[in-house]
Structure formats: structure tokens, C-alpha cells
Amino acid sequence: MDNAQTQKVERNLIGLSPVDYKGKPSTLCPGCGHNTIANQIQAALFELGVVPEMVAKFSGIGCSSKSPNYFLDRSFGFNGVHGRMPTLATGACFADRRIKLIGISGDGDSASIGMGHFKHVIRRNIPMVYIIENNGVYGLTKGQFSATSDLGLELRHQGKNYLPPLDLCLEALISGAKFVARAFAGDVKQMRELFKAAFVHDGIAVIDVISPCVTFNNQDQAMQSYTWGRENESPIQDITFIPKAQEIFVEDFQEGTYREVKLHDGSILLLKKIDRDYDPTSKTAALDLLTESYEKRYLTTGLFYIEKAEQSIIDIFDLGREPLNRLPAERIRPDLAALEQINAALE
Ligand SMILES: Cc1ncc(C[n+]2csc(CCOP(=O)(O)OP(=O)(O)O)c2C)c(N)n1
Ligand code: SF4
Ligand SMILES: [Mg+2]
């Protein structure tokens, strides 16, 4: 037996291996944070045992928006125009409610040209995971300042940024998102656990991932750089995702230092307190924390807010269990008598 035959391939709950979650080889710069994010999406979905063919990936334009190519080759995907990823995902949600939707965007794609769409997809609570790969620049077009660039940031070819940044977690919260988190591409374990929780959340889950652009915005003093992130990241919790099938067992479990959050499908998020008492089910606490970190310029990461939504768009529009894209023409076209009735009503 050769080496390859003796090596045991890791399998998940549905018998797939990590290779089944891979995408095409990345064409992004080596070291780009977006590559790490793509890898952790693969890892999270492998660990959850998600069927790749039941996932659809959407994106707009940017280096970040290229990254759906680099994970889940077996899933559906649509790369649309700049800032319009939410619209595509909304259409897909109505067409087939069984498919899990992942939207990948950039800070330019979401906070500049797509800001209106970002807000409205949240307001509509489209059930999807919305990941922003936030590097504080327009990477694809050679590093111009974006709406999340740090105030006072100086870049070699751009000069100084005189405008204050937007905080996409704050924007998501005030737009009504019921799952809001921030991760840092240099902290992969936390990111992966957040992805898993976002995936089972019922409704839109927004994760702003600080994802360094090693080519255009990686000076040590830049807030979205690896160095700054590593030195200044301040996670609020140590997060562990426990799938519903798995019994809860935590070593050294100490009453009071953990907070359990039950997710929609029965899974549990175990949040180990790090440096402050924090209640992720309080929107006021989330607004206070994010405002403080914005004003004091520190990088807070973790799950800021989670709440069970009363209704997703599927309930509001009372979408039947049968996906609309599976209905034959004779069931979606009104017959002649119905058409005549409609016309008569309009006379
Ligand atoms: C309508 C339109 N306007 C402008 C552009 C040019 N453009 C392409 S990508 C981009 C910004 C991408 O920045 P971001 O979303 O932050 O992605 P990154 O490359 O940083 O990952 C811009 C302005 C475009 N493609 N389409
Ligand atoms: S230019 Fe920046 S964002 Fe684009 S691939 Fe390179 S490192 Fe990543
Ligand atoms: Mg960017």
C-alpha cells in the first residue's frame, strides 16, 4: 500500500471531504486577507456538513467579489455588477427558498456604491450570510480610499484621507440586522465559528471581516493592516459553535464565565467572556460598544448582536414550501378565464 492509500481522508457528517468544498486556485495576491476568508468559509461549511449543491454564492465587483471563485466549486454562483450583490441574492431567495445564500462583498462594493442595497437587504431580512471583506481601500482598482478608510490614513499614491470612515456593523445594526459580527482575517478560529453560527441563523447575518490588502493598505499604522490588527484586536468573546447533534462538553466549564446562545436550528454558541460582561442580545449594548470602539479607534471583534427575528421575508410574503423555480408554466400562468377576470376588473 502506498502512502496515499494509508492516509485516512477526513470525512464530515454527510461523508464529504474538505476537497469537496474547495474552489478554483486563487488569483489574488499571496497574503491577501480575502484568501484566508475563502479558506475559512470552506472549513466552516465542511464542519457543518452542508451540501455544496444547496448553496448559492453571490458577489459584485472587487478583489473581494472574486473570492466566491475560490470556495465551493460545486455550488451555484452569480458574479454581478458593482454594489448589486444584494439584489441578486434577493431574487434567488424568492426563486428557491431551500438554497442557502452567501453574499461576498467589499468595503467599496457595500459601503460606497452599494450602500443603499446593503441597507435594504438587511431591512428585508433576506435569509443569507452577508460577508464584507473589508480592507479599507478599493484593492482591485489600485488602492483608492474607500468609505471605511481610516481618517488620516496616508497612502503612497493617494495622499491623506480627510473623511471619517463608516462602521458597517453600526450601519447593519441600525438597519435592523439580527446577527451582527466582526472578525479579523488574522484570527481564523473566531472567524470560522462566526461563519458557522451565521450559516444556521434564520435571517440575514452580517459579518464585517477586517481583511488586509497586503498590496495597497498594509502599513503598520493602517487600521486594516495585519500588524495593526494583531496588536490592537480586542475580541469580546472566545467563541465556540456547537452543532445541535453534539453534546455540550467544555473543559473547565466555570459558571458565569460562559454565555450560551441557542440558535435557530438548536445549535449552541458558547461565548466565553474575555474582558467585559457583554450581553449580545442587547442592541443598546452593541450600539454602545461599537460607538466606543469607533470613537477610541480600537478593533473590537466578536458577536455584537443576535436576536431571533420574528419574521423573515419568506414569512412576510408567505412563500409556499415549493420553490417558485420548480413550478411548471401551467401553474404560474393564469388561465384564460382568470386573465379575463383580471382584465374585467381593470375596465
Ligand atoms: C459601476 C462601477 N463603478 C466603478 C467600478 C470600478 N471599480 C471596480 S472594483 C471597485 C472597488 C472595489 O473595492 P472593494 O469593494 O473594497 O473591493 P476590494 O478590491 O478592495 O476587495 C471599483 C470602484 C466598476 N467596476 N463599476
Ligand atoms: S490588491 Fe489587495 S485586495 Fe486585491 S488581491 Fe491584492 S492584496 Fe488582495
Ligand atoms: Mg476593499
Tell me, rounded to whole angstroms, the distance of Cα 71 from its chain centroid.
14
Please check the confidence at residue 308 and state whether its pLDDT lies above 90.
no
The pLDDT value given to residue 254? 60
Helices (H), the chain: 3-6, 33-48, 63-66, 85-95, 107, 115-123, 168-174, 188-200, 226-232, 283-296, 313-316, 329-332, 336-346
Q: Give mean pLDDT, residues 264-290.
A: 90
In tens, the pLDDT along 187-224 reads: 999 999 999 999 999 999 999 999 999 999 988 888 89
Alpha-carbon torsion 323, 329, 331, 334, what sign?
positive
Q: Are strands 205-210 and 128-134 parallel, antiparallel or unpaired?
A: parallel
On the question of pLDDT at 1 being above 50, the answer is: no
What spacing in Å lies between the alpha carbon of 79 and ligand 1's midpoint?
Answer: 13
Measured distance CA(119)–CA(111) in Å, rounded: 10
Compute CA distances 64 → 56, 103, 204, 226, 320, whole Å. Answer: 16, 11, 19, 17, 34
Ligand 2 atom 1, closest CA? 139
Give the Å distance between the CA of 60 and the centre of ligand 1: 8
Residue 2 has pLDDT above 80, yes or no: no
C-alpha cell of residue 113:
456604491
Closest ligand 1 atom to residue 138 Cα is: 13
> Long-range contacts for 147-154 (Cβ within 8 Å, ≥24 apart)?
147/107, 147/108, 147/111, 147/112, 147/115, 148/107, 148/111, 148/224, 149/217, 150/222, 150/223, 150/224, 150/297, 153/217, 153/222, 153/223
Q: Can you read off the three cell numbers belonging to residue 122?
A: 438587511
Residue 22 is classified by DSSP as: B
- Residue pair 56/102 in contact (Cβ under 8 Å)? The answer is yes
- What is the CA(220)–ligand 2 centre distance, in A? 16
Output the CA–CA distances (angstroms, integers) from residue 189 to 13, 195, 221, 226, in the order listed. Answer: 20, 10, 24, 16
Q: How does residue 249 score in pLDDT terms, banded at 50, 70 and 90? A: low
- What's the chain's average pLDDT? 92
**Which residue lies with its CA nearest to atom 8 of ligand 2?**
32
| Residue 304 CA, ligand 3 centroid: distance in Å | 22
Pocket of ligand 1 (CB under 6 A): 61-64, 82, 106-109, 113, 133, 135, 137-141, 146
Q: What is the pLDDT of residue 250?
A: 57
Say if residue 76's pLDDT is above 60. yes
**Whole-prediction pTM:** 0.94
Contacts of 315 (CB under 8 A, 6+ apart): none
Task: Give 253-260 contacts, CB < 8 A, sequence gap 24+.
Answer: none
Find out whether 220 and 25 touch, Cβ atoms under 8 Å: no
The residue type found at 116 is G
Strand extents, DSSP E, 80-192: 100-106, 128-134, 137-138, 144-145, 154-155, 159-160, 179-184
In this structure, what are the phi and psi dihedrals at residue 85, rounded to the nearest 5 degrees?
A: -55, -40
Q: Which domains does the chain have, with CATH numbers?
A: 9-238+275-326 (3.40.50.970)
Question: How many angstroms is it from 158 CA to the middle of ligand 3?
Answer: 15
- At 121 the three-state DSSP class reads helix
Query: What number of other Cβ atoms are within 10 A of residue 343's Cβ?
Result: 9
Asked whether the predicted pLDDT for residue 274 surpasses 70, the reply is yes
Residues, beta carbon < 5 Å, ion ligand 3: 106-108, 135
Q: What letter would DSSP give residue 209?
A: E
Q: Bigger pLDDT: 255 or 74?
A: 74
Identify which ligand lies nearest to the alpha carbon of 213. 2
